[in-house]
Amino acid sequence: MSKTKWFTICLIILTLLLSACGQKAAETQEASGVPEEPSTPSIVKIGYAGSPDTLNPGTAILSEAYVMFELTYSALFGQNLDGTYSLDLLDSFEVSADGKTYTFKLKPGVKFSDGTPLTARDVVYSFNLYKEHTEFPYMNTYTANFDTIEAVDDTTVVLTLTEPVPSIQYLTTFLYILPEHIWSQYTGEKVGEFPNSEMVGSGPFILMDYAQGEYIHFKKNPDFYGGVPKVDEVVFQTFNNQDALVQAIKTGQVDMITEMPLTAVASLKNAKDVAVAVGAPLAPDISDIIFNQADPENCPEGGVCTGHPSLRDPKVREALAFATNKQEMIDIVLLGLGAAGRTLIPDSLLPWYNDSIEDHPYDLDKANQLLDEAGYMDSDGDGVREMPDGSKPLILRLNYPSDSTVAPRLSELLAKNWEQAGVKLEISALDPDALTSICCPTFDYDVLIWGWGSDPDPSFLLSVMTSESIPSGMSESGYNNPAYDELYQKQLVEVNPTIRKNLVWEMQKIVFNDTVYIVPFYAKAVQAFRTDRFKGWIINQPKQALEDVTSLVVVEPVK
Amino acid sequence: MKRYKYLLSKVLWASLSIIFVMILNFFLFRVLPGDPARAGVKDPRLTAEAQNAIRIRFGLDKPVINCFESINPLKLGSCLVNPLDTQFFIYVRNLLQGDLGTSYHTNRPVKDMIGEGLVNTIILIGFGQMISIFLGMALGLIAAWKVNTAIDFATLGFCLVAWSLPTFWLGIVLLFTGSTWLGLPVVGKFTPGGGLATGLPMFLDVGKHLILPTLTFSLIMLGEYMLIMRSTSLEIFSEDYILTAKAKGLKTFNILKDHVLRNAMLPMVTIIALNLGFTVAGAIQIESVFSWPGLGLSIFEAVGRRDYPMLQGSFLMIAITVIFANLLAELMYSYLDPRVQAI
């Protein structure tokens, strides 16, 4: 009797489970099979490999947060995918003859998403907020040259600068206009702690719902002044697993993915209703091979400057550049999805990228010849060269951050390449923080593989190689060239775009010829979207970012 | 009286452990190299002034404790500072007021972040543990009853294989197969943007999202429970009282339920309690494979960003869970086995 009871219970549970499963299967079929009725909102679902750190534009650091700000806030200028700028909140602007006074005319009738009108006073409030809060990581670097900001009337703002700037567009493109009536309730330290969970702004999208690290959900702003988005809603869903991203787009759970493992590209290209888009990233990360050039005679405070003496000889660095097979690195590390690098200024940073620089070809004979000429011979026949005075073999420590996905293979290829030029590498991965502590301004290393995030303006990347950046730890190479420093200061205040471009190009030439870094490649952005869901994704532009506002305001459902 | 004393000593030890963890947590993360003002950010735009301002905002400009520098507690500094104005004292004071601080990374109260993560983790672990405990015990019991038969070998083999699979690998395999064949979701705990349904549809949606991570978790945990249950039951089967029960003509089911299961519970309770404590943080791999927004994932991120308040808060929370789970197990012993309290 009890045995049968036991079986009955099991049977009931089994039936329940099966029916639940069946029901679910039926549901999913229904969802994909029945065409959408016009009344259901069109929702773009984005599989996102990150999530914003905070929605407060003042304290945000991650680029993911800026993607959200671009959707919900207006700025004076907007950034285009070809490196140019267009008017966003502005109708027009004028600049005085001395380049120090800008008069901005705002578009009339702009409203925040809570219905309050956006006036010149909000612009003044926002700019002053960014300027006053030195604990905001980035914002006050843009406002450093701002002297006074005044609202003349509801739609006119006058900005005076302490000195002329090359690009007011760049300086103001990330200065999002916040509603004064909400933000002015918070003062002092409280501003940084304000979670801004409503995100009241005037951009093309309005925040609906947000769960930290899970998803962020927007709806279109029907009153947007610059062309209302064609989709009703946008959801960014955070994925912590890139394989899951690929699986999600294959199975149609998301409509677009912002990243993927490069190994998945081939299989996604063959997947049904999925298109893979490859282009230069909007905000590229540049990998670099860094030589310790800090001089022990002139070591910065707190530094030890134990770099291998040979690396302070430009001939050795040049020889190592000839001994570096960049194409092999691109083929193996990036599976071909990249272009050979020159300097820290990447190929997508138009018009600042100097494409006239002739790259060192991979030439081992030339590398060996250069090292022989400079006196670095292998006197004891162990396959490793020694210093010209025979004192120290060319055995270099190579460190890279343990969280890097490219560095492990890159370093092995490098070791293989350089060994053939008689230079031996001792490779070890380090925790990024440990790496920072040996890097700079300590200079307790020989060679590093690391990278930089980039910015639309070249100044920041160029500043890394100035001697001014050595004591602060921003310069990882310890490179010191007064001629370069002078050009840097010049371009910083050059108002004429053509002259500035020439200065920037000249600077790239200097650091390339001195082989301050070897930049192995510029990686491509690889993204994918469903072709059966939405159309109009912006591809084939100099830069690619399908998650950027530029695409999301124009995509529309496939009928 | 003895029982009361036993209880009191256990509770006392538990509280001492928690205080020790509180102090250790504070220094542990600060001994690590690295600077929270720069961790996770490698951007030339972050100027030295901005970094200093960030340090001040986090309170990291103050000395760790008297006689030591800020940031690194291994470097000697001035002893002539107001002890009330050191990081350690502020930490203890806030903790006593129930304030776990504000996350450096998200600028949100750590208490909220841990709360959200913990709820999600408990949902995942709770279902997974329940399934694996019940199934593991049932399979173990059956295998022991049918020892050295095909049923025994099959269950044993299956459980051993499942137990020895790498968690992330099993997760990814299930993710691929489950999403391709059954159309199961691969990310998060529910579908955002679906009008945020409430009630039954919402419940079903969460359930659908739970299937794959829970299955992974249960399969991995199943083996341990099954093996322990099987070996304990085998021992019990050889006891004289089982023979007596059989001789009395009791039904098989009753023998298993009343005589074997009850006696096999002791080692099971130990292992369940231990696992409950550890799995709060131990589901990191499953949480990252399925992007399940649990506590393990937040801790993993906090380590990379040197988010001291988040790390301190969550490690304290985990320590408390482990200590309480152990305490609970010990209290359970005295209930299950009256001999224990005599210690």
Q: Which residue of B has its CA nearest to A23?
A: B204
Q: In whole angstroms, give the CA distance from residue A147 to residue A143.
A: 9
pLDDT tens digit sequence for B98-156: 888 888 888 888 999 999 888 888 889 889 999 999 999 999 999 998 989 999 999 99
Contact B186 A463 (CB under 8 A): no
Cβ contacts (< 8 Å) between B193 and chain A: which residues? 43, 45, 215, 217, 233, 235
Q: What is the pLDDT of residues B157-181, one digit of tens each?
A: 999 999 999 988 999 999 999 999 9
Q: Where are the domains of chain B?
A: 37-104, 110-342
| Complex ipTM value | 0.84
Q: Which amino acid is at A438?
A: I
B34 and chain A: CB distance < 8 Å anywhere? yes
CB atoms under 10 Å from CB of A69, counted, come to 22
Q: Are A501 and A352 in contact (CB under 8 A)?
A: yes
Which of B33, B175, B176 is nearest residue A437 as measured by Cβ atoms?
B33
CB spacing of A141 vs B45 below 8 angstroms? yes
CB proximity A359 to B under 8 Å: no
- Residues in A closer than 8 angstroms to B108, CB to CB, are 54, 195, 212
Amino acid letter for position A219 = K
**Residues A471, A441 contacting (CB under 8 angstroms):** yes
Distance linking the first and last C-alpha atoms of chain B: 13
Instruction: Give the separation between CA A472 and CA A463, rounded to whole angstroms.
Output: 12
B-facing residues of A in 437-496 (CB < 8 A) are 437, 450-453, 455, 460-461, 463-464, 472-474
Q: Is B82 left (phi over 0), alpha (psi -120 to 50) or beta?
A: beta
Interface residue B15 vs chain A (CB under 8 A):
no
Distance of CA A63 to the CA centre of its chain: 6
Residues 6+ apart with CB under 8 A from A537: A256, A277, A529, A546, A551, A555
**Helix/strand/coil percent split, chain A, to 5:** 35, 20, 45
Name chain A contacts of B290, Cβ cutoff 8 Å. Answer: 241, 244
Can you give the pLDDT at residue A135?
Answer: 79
Going by C-alpha positions, the residue among B52, B47, B65, B111 that lies closest to residue A141 is: B47
The angle that helices B199-237 and B150-164 make with each other, rounded to 10 degrees, is 120
What pLDDT score was predicted for residue A540? 86
Q: Which residue is closest to B55 within chain A, CA to CA?
A: A135
pLDDT digits (tens, 9 = 90+) for A14-26: 444 444 443 443 3
Place of tokens 């004076």: A76
Instruction: Determine the residue of chain B that is closest to A252 in CA distance.
Output: B183
Residue A555: its pLDDT value, please?
A: 95
Burial class of residue B341 (count of CB atoms within 10 Å of its CB; 0-12, 13-18, 19+)? middle
The confidence score (pLDDT) of residue B39 equals: 61
Residue type, A452: W
**CB within 8 Å: A235 and B192:** yes
Residues of B whose CB is below 8 A from A251: 179-180, 183, 186
The residue among A72, A88, A251 whose CA lies nearest residue A179 is A72
- Contact: B193, A235; criterion CB under 8 Å: yes
Task: Say which CATH superfamily domain B110-342 falls into.
Answer: MetI-like (1.10.3720.10)
Candidate from B43, B105, B188 with C-beta closest to A237? B188
Distances from the Cα of A163 to the Cαs of A101, A129, A143, A159, A462, in angstroms?
9, 20, 12, 12, 20
A contact test, residue of B45, B113, B118, B285 with most A CBs within 10 A: B45
Query: Can you tell me the mean pLDDT for A468-476?
Result: 86
Contacts of B208 in chain A (CB under 8 A): 24
> B327 versus A126: which is more confidently predicted?
A126
Q: Which two tokens stand for residue B294?
A: 């649990």
CA dihedral B7, B9, B12, B13 (to 10 degrees): -110
> Are A189 and B107 an interchain contact pair (Cβ–Cβ within 8 Å)?
no
Instruction: Report d(CA A470, CA A480) in Å as an integer.
Output: 8
**pLDDT at B280 (0 to 100):** 67
Residues of chain A contacting residue B57, judged by C-beta atoms under 8 Å apart: 135, 189, 192
Tens-place pLDDT, residues A435-461: 888 888 889 999 999 988 888 889 888
| CA–CA separation, B114 and B110 (whole Å) | 6
Percent of chain A surpassing pLDDT 90: 69
- pTM for the full predicted model: 0.85
Q: Are B54 and A135 in contact (CB under 8 A)?
A: yes
Chain A residues with CB-CB distance to B106 below 8 A: 53-54, 212
Cα–Cα distance measured from residue B135 to residue B161, given in angstroms and rounded to the nearest whole number: 16
Contact A291, A447 (CB under 8 A): yes
Kindly state whether B192 is in contact with chain A, defined as any CB-CB distance less than 8 angstroms.
Answer: yes
> What is the maximum alpha-carbon separation in chain B?
85
How would residue A129 be classed by pLDDT, with cut points 50, 70 and 90? very high
Cβ contact A54–B107 (<8 Å): yes
